[in-house]
Structure formats: C-alpha cells, structure tokens
Amino acid sequence: MVPVNQRTHAWAPPPTALMTDHYELTMLQAALHSGTAHRRSVFEVFARRLPAGRRYGVVAGTGRLLEGLSSFRFGDEQLRFLAGTGVVNDATLGFLADFRFTGSISGYAEGEAYFPHSPLLVVEATFAEACVLETYFLSVLNYDSAVASAASRMVGAAAGRPCIEMGSRRAHEEAAVAAARAAVIGGFDSTSNLEAGLRYGLRTVGTAAHSFTLLHDSEEDAFRAQLQSMGLGTTLLVDTYDVGTAVRRAVELAGPELGGVRLDSGDLVAQAAWVRELLDSLGNHRTRITVTSDLDEYAIASLNAAPVDAFGVGTRVVTGSGAPTSSMVYKLVAREDGSGRLRPVAKAAKGKASVGGRKHALRRRDEHGRATHELVGIGAMPEDDGDDRPLLQEFVRDGELLEGWTGPEGVVRARERHAASVAELPPAACRLSEGEPVLPTVLGPGAGA
C-alpha cells in the first residue's frame, strides 16, 4: 500500500483540486459552520439508466481518478485564488490547506460491465472529505465510461478483428488521452495517441495522411519515401487520387511484403472487396486492408462480410457513439446522525429520487457461469447462491491506495477483466438494436432472496 496522496508513476496529473464545482466548497463552508462537516457519510456513484437502448455499460476511469486523487491538494495557488475571489471564508481555507483524504473507497473494478443502480463507487469518509471529491470523480467516470461503453460495442461488432482508436483530434486534447485508455479497456487493440502510450504503456500505431502524399511531387514519390523510411511493413494511404492506380503503384514499389493499405473514403464495403481482389490478383495475399472514415458499431457491423483486416475508429468512439457522457450521479446515501449512528438518507425530488442506505452488489450467475441478474443489496450483501460473483472491490482503505488499480498495470488488468465480464453476459448483450439492459437489476434489502 502507498499513501493515496503521493505520486505513484512517472507521469503525474496536474493539481485536480479545483476541477470542482463552486458549490462543493460553499457547502463545505456551511457544514463547517453548522458542525455537520465531520459527520461520517457514505456517497455512492450510480447511473439511474443506461444510454437509450444500450444493453450494458462499462465502468472506466477508476484508475485515473485514483491517480488524480493523489494530486487532489489545495496548494498556494489554489488557496490564493479561493481567498482572493472570496469563494470561501478563512475557516474553510484552513480546512482545505490541510486537506488529505483519509476515508475509504470501494466500487466496481475498471472494465466491469454495469447496469442501472449498480453501486459503481462507494466513498466512505466525513461529509467534508467526500463532498469536495464529487465533481472530479464524476467528470472522470462519466467520460471514461462513455468511451469504454461505446468501444465495447464496436469491439463486439468487429467480431475478432482489431479496432484501433484514432479519434484524438475529435476530442479535447486531454480527453483524447483518457479516451485512448478507455477504448483499450473496452477491447480496442491500440491507439494513435502518443501521450496515452507514454502515460499508460498503450501500443501506438499510425499510417499516413493525405497531406503526406500531397507534399510530394507525385504519389509515387510519397509512397517511395514512406516505404524507404518506415519499411515495407508500413500501411499506405491509397485514396488521395485514384484508389486502383494507387494500389497497383504500391504493390509495384513494395512487392509482396507490403504491410497494408488504408481506405478512408467512399463505399467501404464495395471498395474493400475489389481492393482485396486487386491485391490478391497482384500476389499480395498478406497485405492487410485497414478502413477508416466515420466508423461506429453499426458501420463496423455492416462490414462484417467485407475483407477488412482492421478498423480505425475516430469521432464515434471518443464521443461515446451518441452518448458522450454516462449520466452517473454521486449521492449521499447515509450519514451519521446526532447520536453517532449511520442512518440512510434519500431525496424525494420528482424523477430523481434516490435510494438511501449503503449498497452491496453481486452478479448472479447460473450453474453455467452465465450472468442472470444484478443484485444490489441495501445495507447488506445479497445472499450468494454459490455461483454469484461479488462486485465491489476495495481501492482505498483509510487514506491508503491499494495496489493494482492505477498506472499501466491497472489498464492491462482492466482490459482482461472487461473481456471476462462481457463474456459471462447473455448473448443478447452484443445486440446493436435498441433494447433493455441485458440483466435486470434487483434492488432491495432482500435483493437476491
């Protein structure tokens, strides 16, 4: 175990403490004033629903938020800003200057499939310590899970052929790094994002852009330059001018060892077929075809019968394929009362009511290991029938970060966990048509009974 507020990797996130809504700190101030700030509290992250029509969601971001927790500190610059703008009073500034998270955090491990009301993160701490983390935790989980959930569907549609994340330019520059990481957790093979390679050890790949061809006096010059510099195993972009001409030229220059060609426009289904035929007719049976151009899970599925070897996915994966955020919320479900007892609390707001009480969760599985229900127990663990799988893992214990969740190792483990988690879902999980969550959530004190 390492202290949670200490850097654990070469790459260190910037200060995260002010990536926080103004009201988190004014609530803290008012709670310090009323003497309730130090009441023991339980906050939970969950989603009331999945994005419309989705069969399952995928948790991602947990490792990142644990990394960012280590730099969740109010330093001089942050405190000066808060003092100068009068956001909070001196008593609150004093509390923030000494802020260390000393509570405990458990939740669904990264990569795990989730369903409505799954308790994705359970934060047990004083109100003061847990309250100030709300915005940052939700930002990380809402975005990363949106990308991983979309990526997982695309990987399912690709039916074993590799998907490559190439969407950096269509997302905020830091979100792009997180998206690459989340896509790989969701089953993507690799990414084009170099920073994600640096921070998380992801494999990075790339081909070439049209500008490279246009820079040269002819397509032949461009192809020759790329082949000489990058080797015959490189992938040439063949649709700058005429695809047929380009493919013939590529084979002339590279011979049978040409690694691949990339198609980035036009009717990909038809084009992949005749480019494959052309390559084969020229003897280039091992030259691979990568397709790009506004792919999403539906476009990938439509290419099911096409001779495509790899899918490069951009915009749609980094924007969650229609669901760019995950609607996860962070709610107080229990807190200490005046007599020191922890009691469940819930709001009644119309359409947004919450369920009080700390949650526990099991994935119910039948005797073949196939998942059948999401059991969420209120205040107690649902009864295990022998084949069930407990879902809550411990990440932080009394302010100490437990090992294995962060850094490159966390990503590798999350990717494996995701594959196993999806594999145990009913086959309907992979349907792209709109439908209900593939597992029903059973929520209650007697959940699983």
End-to-end Cα separation, the chain, in angstroms: 36
Give the residue, chosen from 47, 59, 140, 150, that forms a contact with a second copy under the rule CB under 8 A.
140
Give CA–CA dist 214/418, Å, rounded: 42
Nearer to a second copy, 109 or 131 (CB): 131
Give the residue, chosen from 217, 285, 305, 386, that forms a contact with a second copy under the rule CB under 8 A.
217
Helix (H, G, I), strand (E, B) or coil at 54: coil
Beta carbons of 255 and 232 less than 8 angstroms apart? yes
- Of 355-374, which residues contact a second copy (CB under 8 A)? none
Q: Is 331 a binder of a second copy (CB under 8 A)? A: yes
Give the residue, chosen from 136, 188, 311, 405, that forms a contact with a second copy under the rule CB under 8 A.
136
The amino acid that residue 190 corresponds to is S
Nearer to a second copy, 102 or 265 (CB): 265
Nearer to a second copy, 156 or 167 (CB): 167
Q: Is 33 a binder of a second copy (CB under 8 A)? A: yes
Residue located via tokens 């947990």? 62
Q: Is 170 a binder of a second copy (CB under 8 A)? A: yes
Sheet holding 121-126, edge to edge: 2-3, 400-401, 392-397, 104-108, 121-126, 40-47, 328-336, 342-344
Structure token pair of residue 123:
């934060």
Q: Is 200 a binder of a second copy (CB under 8 A)? A: no
Nearer to a second copy, 316 or 363 (CB): 316
Q: Is 27 a binder of a second copy (CB under 8 A)? A: yes
Residue located via tokens 């170099």? 194
Give the residue, chosen from 1, 2, 198, 428, that forms a contact with a second copy under the rule CB under 8 A.
198
- Of 275-314, which residues contact a second copy (CB under 8 A)? 293
Helix (H, G, I), strand (E, B) or coil at 424: coil
Give the residue, chosen from 123, 183, 317, 332, that forms a contact with a second copy under the rule CB under 8 A.
332
Give CA–CA dist 401/106, Å, rounded: 11
Give the residue, chosen from 228, 245, 281, 304, that forms a contact with a second copy under the rule CB under 8 A.
228
Q: Around Cβ 230, how many Cβ atoms within 10 Å?
A: 15
- Of 47-106, which residues contact a second copy (CB under 8 A)? 68, 77-78, 81-82, 85, 87, 89
Beta carbons of 42 and 342 less than 8 angstroms apart? yes
Shortest reach from residue 282's CB to a second copy, in Å: 22
Give CA–CA dist 397/377, Å, rounded: 22
Q: Is 41 a binder of a second copy (CB under 8 A)? A: yes
Among the listed ranges 52-60, 202-210, 370-378, 384-392, the one in contact with a second copy (CB under 8 A) is: 202-210
Among the listed ranges 27-35, 253-261, 412-420, 424-432, the one in contact with a second copy (CB under 8 A) is: 27-35
Give CA–CA dist 446/449, Å, rounded: 5
Structure token pair of residue 19:
């990536």
Shortest reach from residue 389's CB to a second copy, in Å: 29
